[in-house]
Structure 1
Amino acid sequence: MSLPEAPPARPPTWVPDVPAEDPGAATGPWTPALAATCASAACLVLLVLGVLAARPDVAVLGAAPLVLAVRALRARPTGAVQARFEAGDDDPGAPSRAGRLHATLVLDGPARWGLVTTTRQGRAGAEVLVRAVGGRRLPVVASTVRTGPQEIAAADVQGVGPDGASVAEPTPAVTRSTVVLPSTTPLLDLPLPQRLRGLTGPHESRRPGEGGGLRDVHPWVPGDRLRRIDWRVTARRSPDLSELYVRREHAQAEAVVVLVVDSRDDLGPDPRTWRGSVAPRPQDATSLDRARQAAASLARAYLERGDRVGLDDLGVRRRPVPPGGGRRQLDRIRHALALTAPEGEPAARLRPPRLPSGALVVVFSTFLDEESAQVAARWRTAGHRVVAVDVLPRVRAAGLYDRERLALRMMTLTREDRMAELVDQDVELVTWRDEPAVALRVLARRAQRRAGAGVPR
């Protein structure tokens, strides 16, 4: 049983951490089917006409089907039909194929057949008649391009008795929900903050230490280790060994990255749905879906390189995910991103959230209002390196009225001016819908060309 929907560009993973609802059971009695009732009435009329007209052949035509109908009605079931959802047979930790979500619909009860009707997010799905003798397990598959909490399917079942002569009341609708984690995109070179932290890490800093490249060759002083003596340089510069020379290296350090998601906007490609009165189409990925994917991709790329990554939300005031490293930190961030959603009217912030010193800040927003741009500018003024990621989907202007086109044009110009001001304030801009890996590589190489960029002096 499949609920068709447009497949996504990249498959998301899903975690069935929301339990199924209580099994639905039909509480009403088994009643004769409409077709059986009409057929019995017609047979009874033939039988009466045959008797009144002294026509045995006509009476026999109505008597035999009437006996079979009465026999089927006397053998109709008496128990209740039950339906419930269970988790799919797929491994919940493995990526779903083609962006599909799986569940299993279990049918129990005395019914010979079951008429199963499924819906998803208010849209009609499949309607099938299945054999249900001894119970039945039906796989339910739904395609999705969305991330976050969502419904896999809702189903109700109507039991059908022997020969279709009786039917039960439909069961209450049962649903199965899940949390779809955002997928990740491979990224190449990544920008680094202006200052690196710690005494160890994957990046080479300008501070003297161990583990990095050659810093210089210096005469030996008390405190230098003997194993760092460069005997070739010593033999060349001081043949009589009156002075020893040691090789000094750069220290290794790590980067601290804070991902900031603006969850106030969840906009689709159609501008007519931006007012909130009409929901975006289920087959369209929204700006929040893009923000989740972009943040998860950057988190995975930085964590795989040994850096520390944290997560914060501009739309909701809750405790952020503190910077950390490792595989568990990536799982924590992806789950927090999946649960990120607009929650009413956000309160105005008096000051931007506090960040670790010297952190790289990546802001994911549509930049349709001033708040996210002002927060990014304040962080840049405070000395952080800030990267603004534009997650607004490509807008579909086809089918708009003239007034709607004019409003969209004015909003687009205002947004472009706002983003140009960010660039003037030294906030680096990346558009996620246009080759983000290439844009991030350009930012990484641009920092490497500046003397001392990416590392503390």
Structure 2
Amino acid sequence: MSGGATTSEARVVDPDVLPARPPVVAVPAAGLVPAPAAAAWLVGGVLVAVVGLVAGRPEVAALGLPLLLGLVVARAGWPAGGARARLRAADQTANAGQLEAELVVEAAPGAPLLGVRVDAPGHRPREALVLARDRVVAVRMRSVRTGSRPLFQLDARAADASALLLGSVSSQPAVVMTVLPSTRALRALPLPFRLQGLTGPHGSRRAGDGGDLHDVAPFRPGDRLRRIDWRVTARINGQAAAGAGQPGAVSELYVRRTFATADATVMLVVDSRDEVGPRVDTWGDASAVDEDEATSLDLARFAAASVARSYLEAGDRVGLEDLGRLRRPSPPAGGRPHLHRLTQQLALARPEGEPTRRQRVPRLPSGALIVLFSTFLDDDPARLATAWRGSGHRVVAVDTLPPLVTADLSARQRTAFRVVSMDRVDRIADLARAGVETVTWQSLGPEHDVAAELGVLARRRVRR
């Protein structure tokens, strides 16, 4: 499809697609329907034959026979199975806001034409007439929405070459597609207060095998020989030997100790209990959100996938907790396959009924950095973030409420929105006072530089 969500059309992309008449997949012969042209042939043939017989003019009556024979021949040549069409689609990432499915056409002799009608949420239906031969036709639409959603509904109908016979209309239910969130590269990211592991991409505060110099100390059992600093050993032993009158004597070895490296454990917490769009008058009805409007959950998926990708590419371990589902969180792990698993889980995160309150604070790995993605329209995510911060975690709260449009609100709705908005502002202010760091992520595009805000947090490593 092209254009905005409310004005664009489902686009069938194929060189042999013709502008369609009313939608005409064909079915067995028992489901045949005469076309308007067939009715005209039948009426014309019968009328001419009757007039000729009544008038006693056999040559006139014979003029109606070709019309009637044409109908018989067309009916006899109709294939038993008819041409067929079906839609298929695979999980995909919305590249530049474009989604694609495939219209698979299966040919049948005697029904060379196939009329198709493709519909998609938020778009005008697109009708086309295609040549019914074995082929695959691309079907595209534009959308910034993600998640598992029903898309691309198909109605199809076959016709013969003479357009005298049509197959019954065949409808395929909307194809359910899982649209994965795209990602954005982030330069610098905050780290937990305490790093874990024996190796990793980040410098820790304990001595061990690393790159940055910690100090120079006397050799002890267990120290590696390659760590011996011969220059320091020679200088210190030389000074000691000169003072004792025994030049050249080496009494003690010295080694260079470095700061150890470690990896970070990061837990992404996504609040999927509700999903709101930018237009406040659509809150409570997610189906009213247009395809070119990113919801709060679309932003949360995109932000969480971007953060996960950046940490995993740096060699850290990332896990996922979904506040909308009462199940065990995905444990922290690393690697590209784990990124794919996390992206799939994010795409499947969605509201399930009314938002519920977590009675118990989810237990997350000790010392992990917690990144919470929420709209903070109720108290529950703020309560959990405060509890995690109080237990010693470093918590970063990412506000995923999109820029709001309130122009169409009534006076009563506007008053209710002001109350909700003031409560939300107070909640975020309380988080800052509790030591929770906050970031705003309101766009899928590059116009809002979230990386700059995260870079500021990355320079803070002191426990507050």
The TM-score, its normalising length taken from structure 1, stands at 0.85
Residues 296 and 333, structure 1, Cα contact 8 Å, conserved in 2: yes
Assess if the C-alpha contact under 8 Å between 2:198 and 2:260 holds in 1.
yes
Residues in 1 aligned to 2:160 and 2:226: alpha-carbon distance in whole angstroms: 88
Distance 1:98 1:128 in 2: 23
How far the C-alpha of 1:242 sits from its partner, in A, is 3.7
Displacement of 1:325 in angstroms is 0.8
**Where does structure 2 lack aligned partners over 5 or more consecutive residues?**
6-24, 242-249, 443-447
Q: Distance in 2 between matches of 1:65 and 1:436?
A: 75
Give the whole-Å Cα distance in 1 for the aligned partners of 2:70 and 2:262: 84
- What is residue 143 of structure 1 aligned with on the other side? 142
Deviation at 1:97, TM superposition (A): 6.2
Deviations 1:7-30 (A, max 9, x none): 9xxxxxxxxxxxxxxxx7635432
Partner of 1:192: 191
Query: Deviation at 1:359?
Result: 0.5
> 2:315 aligns to what SS in structure 1?
coil
**Residues 41 and 71 of structure 2 are in contact (CA less than 8 Å); yes or no, is this contact kept in structure 1?**
no
1:122 to 1:60, Cα distance in 2 relative to 1, 3 A: farther
Cα distance, 1:211 vs. partner? 1.5
Cα 1:96–1:62 shift into 2, 3 Å: farther
CA deviations on 1:47-81 (whole Å, 9 max, x unpaired) are: 65577679999x59974873575455444515233
> For 1:103-141, what per-residue CA distance to the aligned partner results, in whole angstroms no more than 9, with x for missing partners?
232234342211111112375421111222x54433222
Q: Which residue of 1 aligns with 2:35?
A: 33
Unaligned runs of 5+ in 1: 8-23
> After the TM superposition, which residues 82-101 of structure 1 pair with which residues of structure 2 at under 5 Å, given as runs?
83-85=84-86, 87=88, 96=95, 99-101=98-100
Q: Which digits, 9 at most, give the CA deviation of each residue in 1:386-432, with x for residues without a partner?
A: 00001111111222223222222222121111111111111000001
Query: 1:29, 1:78 within 8 Å by CA — same for their partners in 2?
Result: no
User: Is the aligned partner of 1:353 residue 2:352?
Assistant: no
Change (3 A) 1:231 1:399: same
The alpha-carbon deviation at position 300 of structure 1 amounts to 0.6
In structure 2, what is the Cα distance between the partners aligned to 1:70 and 1:354? 75
Q: Is the 8 A contact 2:26 2:159 kept in 1?
A: no
Query: What are the equivalent positions in structure 2 for 1:337-352 lying under 5 Å apart?
Result: 337-352=346-361
SS in 2 for 1:172: strand
Deviations 1:423-444 (A, max 9, x none): 1111000001242111100111
Within 2, Cα distance between the matches of 1:215 and 1:159?
78
Task: Specify the code of the residue in structure 2 equivalent to 1:279.
Answer: A
Distance between the aligned counterparts of 2:226 and 2:364, measured in 1? 40
Distance of aligned partners of 1:214 and 1:38 in 2 relative to their CA distance in 1, 3 Å threshold = same
CA 1:78 to 1:238, structure 2 compared with 1: closer, same or farther past 3 Å? closer
Q: Paired residue for 1:227?
A: 226
1:282 paired residue number = 291
1:368 aligns to what SS in structure 2? coil
Matched residue, 1:129 = 129
Contact in 2 for aligned 1:76/1:162 (Cα 8 Å):
no
| Paired residue type of 1:31 | V
**Cα 1:403/1:174, change in 2 over 3 Å:** closer
The one of 308, 311, 328 equivalent to 2:320 is: 311
Is 1:435 equivalent to 2:449 in the alignment? yes
The whole-number CA distance in structure 2 between the counterparts of 1:348 and 1:44 is 75
Task: Please identify, of 72-81 and 366-375, the stretch whose mean Cα deviation from structure 2 is larger.
Answer: 72-81
- Tell me the percent identity: 45
Q: 1:290 to 1:122 in 2, by over 3 A?
A: closer
Alpha-carbon distance between aligned partners in 2 of 1:93 and 1:99, rounded to the nearest angstrom = 10
Aligned to 2:301: 292
- Residues in 2 aligned to 1:141 and 1:278: alpha-carbon distance in whole angstroms: 20
- 1:381 corresponds in structure 2 to 390
How many pairs does the alignment contain? 428
Question: How far, CA to CA, are the matches of 1:402 and 1:418 in structure 2?
Answer: 25
Check whether the contact 2:273–2:350 (CA below 8 A) recurs between aligned residues.
yes
Contact 1:233–1:245 under 8 Å retained in 2: yes
Secondary structure at the residue paired with 2:371?
strand
SS in structure 1 of the partner of residue 344 of structure 2? helix
Q: 1:350 to 1:391 in 2, by over 3 A?
A: same
Partner of 2:16: none
- In structure 1, the partner of 2:208 is 209
Residues 97 and 380 of structure 1, relative CA distance in 2, 3 Å threshold: closer
- Residue deviations 1:330-366 (CA, integer Å, cap 9, x gap): 1111111111111123543222110111100000001
Aligned counterpart, 1:159: 158
Q: What do residues 266-299 of structure 1 show as CA deviations (whole Å, max 9, x unaligned)?
A: 1111111112275312221111111111111111
Task: Say if 1:175 and 1:163 are closer, same or farther in 2 by CA, change over 3 A.
Answer: same
Distance 1:337 1:277, change over 3 A: closer
